[in-house]
Structure 1
Amino acid sequence: MNQLTEPLFLTPVFQPKIWGGRKLATEFGYHIPDGKIGELWAISAHPHGPNTIKNGPLAGITLAEAWQDHQDYFGHQTGKVFPLLTKILDANDSLSVQVHPDDAYAAAHEQPGELGKTECWYVISADPDSYLIYGHHAKTREELADMIEKGEWNELLRKVPVKAGDFFYVPSGTIHALNKGIMVLETQQSSDTTYRLYDYDRTDDQGHKRELHIKQSIDVTTVPHHDPKLDVTTETVADATITSYVKPPISPYFAVNRIELHGSLSQEANAPYTLVSVLDGKGQFIADGEAYVIEKGTHFLIPNQIKSWTFTGEMEIITSTPGKEE
């Protein structure tokens, strides 16, 4: 077995979007391309934006290649694809109203290997009076289709106020949209399949409206909508406050935690690997006698062979671990 006793730091991938802005540069200091940049793919092995590993014996290959060829670093998982994707989204304008399929629908209707998409959002920042589209008011699928056909968006769509520090779990089948002025860290299944239900009749730079997916949206939407019942817990451990937002079985695909650190926190591995995103502050990640400086905007993966580690400093961190194997 090859030993990998250092974390995997990754080169970010930036995605231009019609609704994007420049906050990934102004708020996080990333060197982003010109134009409207909507998404940072921070930890990704998806073919539409795989990260390249920056350090260690795997430097220069993508996370997708590492998953295929170096499974000892991931605990010998049997899934065909790396199952998770971590993003930061800058909604300078409102995203389309959309819905994602589950694994079965994606397998039947999308490219081979494409997963369904259950996701969640931790709200980094939100302008005053910001809101999300989260769910709908239709009682039956027939009523859903009728309200869509008539364009009764104000009656159909459910608006939810949002502020920094909020958390939303978005299972596949949930109609949703980030609206303008919101920045989130998103943890999701590794999928890039989105069915647009409504896009405010926007046009791109060439005057074209973006494609809608009405049939697929009606097919996959959960009717009626029910907010998921989350078991959010908060505990103080050493110099940290740890909030557990979701975990299996409520969230079958991932567990997500927030660490508010003021000092030092030592942890033991409880999953095959762990994804880490630093949202604020600065400190160190210490493992196997080595210390690595981490700060706001740092994202990395803790491989299977690191069984314990310590965070030190003043930081806000989001961690995620995989749930069931894909």
Structure 2
Amino acid sequence: MNINTLKILIMYPFKFNPILKSTIWGGEKIIPFKQLNATQSQVGESWEISNVPGDESVVANGADAGKNLSELVKEYKGALVGESNYQRFGDNFPLLIKFIDACDDLSIQVHPDDELAKVRHNSLGKTEMWYVIGNNGGKAHLRSGLKKQITPDEYAAMIADNTICDALADYAVQPGDVFFLPAGRIHSIGAGCFIAEIQETSNVTYRIYDFNRKDKNGNTRELHTELSKDAIDYTVEADYRTHYTPKKNEPVELVSCNHFTTSVYDLTENMSMDYSELDSFVIYICMEGSCTVTDNEGNTLTMQAGESVLFPATTQSLEVVPQGNVKFLETYV
């Protein structure tokens, strides 16, 4: 038996230390939601699983505790991410997982697609999705997509005269709402939203409009009007919400695209997951309740609301045993 074979045999489900980010728009929900012993304030984001340079997640459990995600990918390669994913992405882990708590509106943004991001930033683009966990007692909203046809020049003029919000679709949101955001779609997380976000591993954001807010030094934040002008998809759709029928004790697929496939599980009964034909890692993002999860090698862990778990591509099957009720997202590439 060579050392590489041994490494594959001892792989196990990974938990990571969260990377907490305080922001000017952040709230106070993330730390209690994740049951953390921390005093940081205005935490707008918890980066759950990240391989963004400078913000690599660090393993919190097991024999690889203390290693970061970049080191894991370089060490385990296709055994961790899947052989086809390793051929496609190399040592770059392809997904970034976050929880986001917006006490105030975030800036209006757009992200370039893979082709444009590669040319301009030597980066992946950013296609993403949102799952709404909470809406601050019914007082939350978000913006997604254009509600009327505009040209690139009209877009730039609306930025200049502070009317860009008039062109955007604005949604009051409920827990369980889902929005898919392909690269190029204008969007903004609004005040009161508490969401789980799944995205490509990219930190390239073009800030379109920031409501003329000033920082503590009295400066407005930089806008990227010219960069965003040709990154936007100006297509108008009737409805940008992802519609699905919630179900108990069976998977419900929410999004399937070239960048990720995501389903939601709402379980009160034990469930067996078969990943023997899947050539990818799998991530669970727990949003409600708790469960125990046991893989085909006999590794067992407890997963609770606020936790995200990375199962390596060597995982053949999982047994999920809810402790009452558990709700989580499953995502893979």
Query: Structure 2 length normalisation: TM-score?
Result: 0.89
In terms of mean alpha carbon deviation, does 160-169 or 26-35 score higher? 26-35
Amino acid at match of 2:100: L
Any stretches of 5+ residues in structure 1 without a counterpart? none
Partner of 1:41: 47
Amino acid at match of 2:20: F
Q: CA deviation at 1:228?
A: 6.1
Q: 1:1-326, aligned counterparts within 5 Å?
A: 1=5, 2=7, 3-71=9-77, 72-76=79-83, 77-78=86-87, 79-80=89-90, 81-110=92-121, 112=122, 114-127=123-136, 128-136=138-146, 137-226=148-237, 232=244, 240-247=249-256, 251-269=257-275, 270-287=278-295, 288-313=297-322, 314-322=325-333
In 2, distance between residues paired with 1:138 and 1:23? Answer: 37
Q: 1:271 to 1:293 in 2, by over 3 A?
A: same
C-alpha contact 2:274 2:316 (8 A) present in aligned 1: yes
RMSD: 1.9
C-alpha contact 1:234 1:242 (8 A) present in aligned 2: no
In 2, distance between residues paired with 1:293 and 1:169? Answer: 29
In 2, distance between residues paired with 1:228 and 1:161? Answer: 12
Query: Structure 1 length normalisation: TM-score?
Result: 0.90
User: CA-to-partner distance for each residue in 1:256-312, whole Å, 9 max, x for gaps?
Assistant: 111101020101113411011111111200112232122112211111111001110
Amino acid at match of 1:75: G
C-alpha contact 1:93 1:180 (8 A) present in aligned 2: yes
C-alpha contact 1:46 1:190 (8 A) present in aligned 2: yes
Please state whether the residue corresponding to 1:115 is helix, strand or coil. Answer: coil
User: CA-to-partner distance for each residue in 1:149-202, whole Å, 9 max, x for gaps?
Assistant: 332234222212211110000111111001111100000000111111110111
Amino acid at match of 2:69: L
In 2, distance between residues paired with 1:103 and 1:283? Answer: 36
C-alpha contact 2:264 2:330 (8 A) present in aligned 1: yes
Amino acid at match of 1:35: S
Q: CA deviation at 1:235?
A: 5.9
C-alpha contact 2:13 2:299 (8 A) present in aligned 1: no
Please state whether the residue corresponding to 1:204 is helix, strand or coil. Answer: coil
In 2, distance between residues paired with 1:204 and 1:139? Answer: 31
Amino acid at match of 1:189: E
Any stretches of 5+ residues in structure 2 without a counterpart? none
In 1, distance between residues paired with 2:219 and 2:241? Answer: 40
Q: 1:31 to 1:99 in 2, by over 3 A?
A: farther
How many residues get paired?
A: 314
